[in-house]
Amino acid sequence: MDALSNLGLGFDVAFSWANLAYCLVGVVLGTLVGVLPGLGTVTAISMLLPFTYGLDPVGALIMLSGIFYGGLYGGSTASILLNLPGTPAAAVATLDGYPLAQQGRAGVPLFMSAISSFVGGCVGLALVMVAAPAIVSIALEFGPAEYFSMMLLGLLAAAMAASSSLLRSIGMALVGLLLGLVGMDVVSGMMRFTFGIPIMAEGISFIIAAMALFGLAEVMTNLEPHIKRGTPRRIAGWRAMMPTRDEARRSIGAILRGTGLGAFLGALPGAGPTVSSFIAYTVETRVSREPERFGKGAIEGVVAPEAANNAAAQTGYIPTLTLGIPGDAVGALILGTLIMHGIAPGPRVISSHPDLFWGLLVSMWIGNFLLLWVNIPFIGVWVKILSIPYRILYPAIMIFLCIGVYSVANSAFQLILLAGFGAAGYLLTKLDCPASPLLLGLILGPMIEENLRRALLLGRGDPMVLLESPISAGILFVCAALLLWTAASSFRRKRDGAVGRTESGQEQSWNA
Amino acid sequence: MAEMLKDKDILTGMLFVGIGGAFVIGAADYGMGTTRRMGPGYFPVMLGLALALVGLVLAARSAIRRRPDIIGRLYLRPVVSLTASILSFSALINTVGLLAACMVCTLVAGLATSETRYKEIILVAIAMTAFSAIVFTGLLGLPMRLWVQ
């Protein structure tokens, strides 16, 4: 009965006019940025974060989440029509979606990817509703040692997923942790690394870092003269969208496999929508009886990854909302939003803010319905938007970045930080250093330090305290196993020759 | 040897060593404390050392392997123009106001690529300025003055 009353509360919150409006705005904006290549969901969420400051926390989360999963729906559009992924998670949709478009059947993958996204999203959501409260009941027992280990695992997993060069990712996570320490030390009240600038006492805002690394640095990269952009071809009406009977039959299994895989992977820290979509594609090529059809327009190659990334997007909320440990950059931004609104992340979020948790879940469910309507009948509109040239788009992005950063603290100094971080971010991209571990480290930095200090204080300075609790010891064991496994597999790859090099370059750009 | 200096791993390694080292030096005066009662300097020093170590391993591994992966060309035009565009916004927003800041920011940003067309960028600048004034200060009520009083 408890679950029913919680759902009831969720419906009350999500169906208020204001929240319905935030949800609609979020999913439409999400579809828009998803459709436009060169403007990713992480960029869009970080750009709009400052403007949600004035909303109540539920409204802010509903809108930002809408951008996130809306972007996943929209992301496949550019992949299919232009062979250019609108978002990293939609990169796989190019493999079989674009060949279908070249055969003049673009409507079919577009329609089917909306349907499979819907199935994946809804199943993922249902899983969050069941699993999150269960995980919370375990997590409430956590002490500082368990928290420290959990966050370490989260960082490590995110680092592993972000780039194939583990040392780079770990280095970036460490840079993020260090930057997170800038400002006033919560224990001693001492100012650290502020260079005597008063506004630095509050630390480096994650919003500015996100806008610089995912917004500004991305615009800089997109403006490199060799980047080429295509224009989409027209697609015909409703009838061209219907799959053949054979395709529909083959899609069912693929959607279900993709959904299951995505839902499982998404709940693990580090493996977000992008990773899940790639794995789902690989699985489809393995289970298929005719693997040679893949890459030439097999519908399974479109629907399975699309179902997987949407399911993963939803279950990704489990670690973020129950443990306060974000799985990827978007999770980090959602967590940052909670902190920004004065809500301490962790297992108490659901019990102390039930309206927020259940309202958000129900609104995401509504959002998935809205997205079907936003995407399928209006597909022509989105195709038209695809033809807006980037030279018009990017100055508008710049204005959003400037006003957004300025409004965080009404200080011009933050804009200088934005410019500096942006230029640094461009250099880091050139060095293949992934930005998401840095962002995660920046948000987790103060919390990791605080929990480590408390754990060691309780353990009288003996680091073994981290291994005394079975949960903490187990998590640290998983960390060590992950590290060893990655080291061993990278050693094997090196032995196999230089092939790994080009592969790693590709993975890098997909995950950036 | 000159080739190796442009290697991505070596450059990244040096960058990590530099950042880690800077934090270690900066945190040295903050007080280390003991493991039981960590001072404000303890955690940053540890992280900084770890970062420097990661950097060293990354650089050393690549130096031993001797198969340089050269860094791609850095395009200064977008970096410089966009940085200038943000700095001009930051200089104008408190002194003159939003309208000037938006106009100049957009126009300077336009310098970032040779694809920009004069008439188009002026129209974009006017449109974005009007949009910002209406949406951000009008509808969202962000506290920014439009023009110097």
Answer whether B36 sits within 8 Å of A460, measured CB to CB: yes
**C-alpha R_g of chain B:** 24
The closest of A369, A110, A118 to A242, measured between CA atoms, is: A110
Residue of A nearest to B17 (CA): A171
Residue A502 confidence (pLDDT): 38
For residues A64 and A55, is the Cβ–Cβ distance under 8 A? no
Higher pLDDT, A238 or A48: A48
Answer whether B19 sits within 8 Å of A426, measured CB to CB: no
3-state SS, one letter per residue, for A153-204: HHHHHHHHHHCCCHHHHHHHHHHHHHHHCCEECCCCCCEECCCCCHHHHHCC
Residue A500 confidence (pLDDT): 39
Report the C-alpha gap between B61 and A78 in whole angstroms.
39
Collect all residues with Cβ–Cβ distance below 8 Å to A276 and sequence separation of at least 6.
A261, A262, A265, A266, A305, A308, A309, A311, A312
Q: Output DSSP code: residue B114.
A: T
Residue A270 confidence (pLDDT): 67
Report the C-alpha gap between B134 and A271 in whole angstroms.
41
Report the C-alpha gap between A488 and A381 in whole angstroms.
49
Please state the rounded mean pLDDT for residues A325-345. 85
For residues A71 and A31, is the Cβ–Cβ distance under 8 A? yes
Report the C-alpha gap between A452 and A455 in whole angstroms.
5
Answer whether B94 sits within 8 Å of A178, measured CB to CB: no
For residues B137 and B98, is the Cβ–Cβ distance under 8 A? yes
Could you tell me how many CB contacts below 8 A there are between chain A and chain B?
190
Please state the rounded mean pLDDT for residues A62-81. 88
Q: Which of A220, A395, A415 is nearest residue B106 as measured by Cβ atoms? A: A395
- Determine phi and psi for B7, rounding to 5 degrees: -70, 135
* Residue type at position A160: M
In order of A418, B41, B93, the CA distances from B85 in angstroms are 11, 37, 12
Collect all residues with Cβ–Cβ distance below 8 Å to A224 and sequence separation of at least 6.
B75, B78
Q: Is residue A499 over pLDDT 60?
A: no
Tokens 């802010």 correspond to: A60
Report the C-alpha gap between A94 and A82 in whole angstroms.
8
Flag whether residue A410 sits within 8 Å of chain B, measured between CB atoms.
yes
- List the structure tokens of A345: 């992340």
Half-sphere exposure of A368 (CA within 13 A, CB side): 23
DSSP string, A103-171: TT-THHHHHHHHHHHHHHHHHHHHHHHHHHHHHHHHHTT--HHHHHHHHHHHHHHHHHHH-S-HHHHHH
Tokens 């949800």 correspond to: A23
Q: Which of A175, A403, A501 is nearest residue B51 as measured by Cβ atoms? A: A175
CB atoms within 10 A of CB A478: 15
Please state the rounded mean pLDDT for residues A103-113. 86
For residues A472 and B66, is the Cβ–Cβ distance under 8 A? no
Q: Which of A167, A392, A410 is nearest residue B143 as measured by Cβ atoms? A: A410
Q: pLDDT per residue over A197-220, tens digit each?
A: 888 888 888 888 888 988 899 889
Answer whether B144 sits within 8 Å of A422, measured CB to CB: no
Residue A1 confidence (pLDDT): 46
Q: Is residue A508 over pLDDT 50?
A: no
Report the C-alpha gap between A225 and B78 in whole angstroms.
9
For residues A64 and A71, is the Cβ–Cβ distance under 8 A? no
For residues A306 and A258, is the Cβ–Cβ distance under 8 A? yes
Answer whether B36 sits within 8 Å of A193, measured CB to CB: no
Averaged confidence pLDDT in chain A: 84
Confidence of residue A224 (pLDDT cuts 50, 70, 90): confident
Among B83, B88, B102, B119, which would you mutate to test the A interface (most chain A Cβ atoms within 10 Å of its Cβ)? B83
Q: Which of B8, B19, B82 is nearest residue A398 as measured by Cβ atoms? A: B82
Q: Is residue A61 over pLDDT 50?
A: yes
- Closest-CA distance, A194 to chain B, in angstroms, reads 10
Please state the rounded mean pLDDT for residues A312-317. 91
Q: H-helix or E-strand containing B38? A: none
Please state the rounded mean pLDDT for residues A43-56. 83
Flag whether residue A423 sits within 8 Å of chain B, measured between CB atoms.
yes
Q: Is residue A188 over pLDDT 70?
A: yes
Q: Is residue A451 over pLDDT 70?
A: yes
Answer whether A193 sits within 8 Å of B27, measured CB to CB: yes
Answer whether A181 sits within 8 Å of B117, measured CB to CB: no
Q: Is residue B83 over pLDDT 90?
A: yes
Report the C-alpha gap between A315 and A484 in whole angstroms.
27
Answer whether B34 sits within 8 Å of A418, measured CB to CB: no
Answer whether B15 sits within 8 Å of A431, measured CB to CB: yes
Report the C-alpha gap between A321 and A41 in whole angstroms.
19
Confidence of residue A495 (pLDDT cuts 50, 70, 90): low
Please state the rounded mean pLDDT for residues B19-42. 87
Q: Output DSSP code: residue A15.
A: T
> Across A84-93, A149-158, A343-352, B98-107, which has the greatest mean pLDDT?
B98-107
Residue of A nearest to B61 (CA): A167
Number of H helices, E strands in chain A: 24, 2
Confidence of residue A340 (pLDDT cuts 50, 70, 90): confident
> Across A82-86, A289-293, B79-83, which has the greatest mean pLDDT?
B79-83
Report the C-alpha gap between A140 and A352 in whole angstroms.
12
Report the C-alpha gap between A137 and B108 in whole angstroms.
54
CB atoms within 10 A of CB A203: 19
Residue B24 confidence (pLDDT): 94
Alpha helical stretches, state H, chain B: 2-5, 8-27, 42-65, 76-95, 98-110, 118-131
Residues of chain B contacting residue A456, judged by C-beta atoms under 8 Å apart: 35-36, 38
Report the C-alpha gap between A173 and A177 in whole angstroms.
6
Report the C-alpha gap between A345 and A154 in whole angstroms.
14
Higher pLDDT, A86 or A273: A273
Residue A237 confidence (pLDDT): 55
Flag whether residue A481 sits within 8 Å of chain B, measured between CB atoms.
no
Q: Is residue B27 over pLDDT 70?
A: yes
Mark residue A182 as left, alpha or beta (left: phi above 0; alpha: psi -120 to 50; beta: remaining): beta
Of A261-270, A272-281, A404-413, A487-496, the range with the lowest mean pLDDT is A487-496
Residue B149 confidence (pLDDT): 67
Answer whether A170 sits within 8 Å of B54, measured CB to CB: yes
Residue of A nearest to B110 (CA): A395
Q: Output DSSP code: residue A322.
A: I
Q: Output DSSP code: residue A280.
A: H
Q: Where are the domains of chain B?
A: 2-65, 76-139
Percent of chain A with pLDDT over 70: 92
Residue A504 confidence (pLDDT): 38
Longest dimension (CA), chain B: 66
Among B12, B87, B98, which would you mutate to test the A interface (most chain A Cβ atoms within 10 Å of its Cβ)? B12
Q: Which of residues 262-291 of A touch B (CB under 8 A)?
A: none
Confidence of residue A235 (pLDDT cuts 50, 70, 90): low
Report the C-alpha gap between A284 and A290 in whole angstroms.
10
Please state the rounded mean pLDDT for residues B35-58. 91
Residues of chain A contacting residue B19, judged by C-beta atoms under 8 Å apart: 175, 178
CB atoms within 10 A of CB A485: 11
- Closest-CA distance, B148 to chain A, in angstroms, reads 16
